[in-house]
Amino acid sequence: MTLYSRDAETDAITALAPIIPVLTVRSVEDGLAQARALVAGGLTAIEVTLRTPSALAAIAAIADQVPGAVVGAGTIVSPDQIDDAVAAGARFLVSPGATTDLAEAAAAAPVPFLPGCATASEAMALRELGFRTLKLFPAEAVGGARLLAALAAPLPDLRFCPTGGIDLVKAADYLKLPNVACVGGSWMLPKEALAAGDFARVEALAREAAGLRRL
């Protein structure tokens, strides 16, 4: 069994800002514009979801053209996506959940990996592979801050990046918990602002999110 060994790198990425914005990109240009606004607002760790045809190309462009950005790939759902995302320039990877095959591939990944979980049993299974920082998804739907508070005592060595259904107010509540490393979300990327090309608003919302305080 492969044990995960990238805790220090994972900690460094989750420490960059209290929020990791989650991007769904329509094109390479759209991804670049979103990333530039987020970095200007102080959110430098950026997760691009592999949900659109442009995602891998956008990751490569962001890695090459946006100074200060630490770009990762999200919605990793199969082991073969790991190599593709890393080859594109992803510096960290995120999954919504973790099958046995994906978890084992994640443990051997060449970059930090935040595997997803939704229950105590799933968190414990990932812990057995050596992971100490996990994504809780879909956070609000599975119990949110109350669930994480309950997990803190029996699983004190685990930290989480809750993602799913979180806004600015809820993020502040999560960040008060000792086992929350950072929060994932997309509220600083409102659809109407992106459709209008209003990246000044994205930057302002990113700056507000970057100002949130952790415990």
Total tally of structural domains belonging to the chain: 1
Tens of pLDDT along 118-130?
999 999 999 999 9
Annotate the chain with three-state secondary structure: CCCCCCHHHHHHHHCCCCEEEEECCCCHHHHHHHHHHHHHCCCCEEEEECCCCCHHHHHHHHHHHCCCCEEEEECCCCCHHHHHHHHHCCCCEECCCCCHHHHHHHHCCCCCEECEECCHHHHHHHHHCCCCEEEECCHHHHCHHHHHHHHHCCCCCCEEEEECCCCHHHHHHHCCCCCECCEEECCCCCHHHHHHCCHHHHHHHHHHHHCCCCC
Instruction: List, by residue number, the catalytic residues.
Output: 47, 135
Please check whether residue 142 lies inside any domain of the structure. yes
Please check whether residue 70 lies inside any domain of the structure. yes
Residue 162, domain CATH: 3.20.20.70
Which structural domain range is residue 145 located in?
7-205
Separation between Cα atoms, residue 164 and residue 158, nearest integer Å: 19
Please check whether residue 1 lies inside any domain of the structure. no
Please check whether residue 213 lies inside any domain of the structure. no
Please check whether residue 211 lies inside any domain of the structure. no
Tens of pLDDT along 121-162?
999 999 999 999 999 999 999 999 999 999 999 999 999 999
Please check whether residue 36 lies inside any domain of the structure. yes
Residue 215 has pLDDT above 90, yes or no: no
Residue 198 has pLDDT above 70, yes or no: yes
Please check whether residue 170 lies inside any domain of the structure. yes
Tens of pLDDT along 12-66?
999 999 999 999 999 999 999 999 999 999 999 999 999 999 999 999 999 999 9
Separation between Cα atoms, residue 95 and residue 31, nearest integer Å: 20
- Say how many residues make up the chain: 215
> What is the token pair recorded at 27?
């094109």
Please check whether residue 212 lies inside any domain of the structure. no
Separation between Cα atoms, residue 151 and residue 154, nearest integer Å: 6
Mean pLDDT over the full length of the chain: 97
Residue 187 has pLDDT above 70, yes or no: yes
Planar angle of CA 140, 111, 171, nearest 5 degrees: 25
pLDDT of the residue at 1: 67
pLDDT of the residue at 2: 78
Residue % of the chain over a pLDDT of 70: 100
Residue % of the chain over a pLDDT of 90: 99
Please list the residues that pair with 163 across neighbouring strands: 184
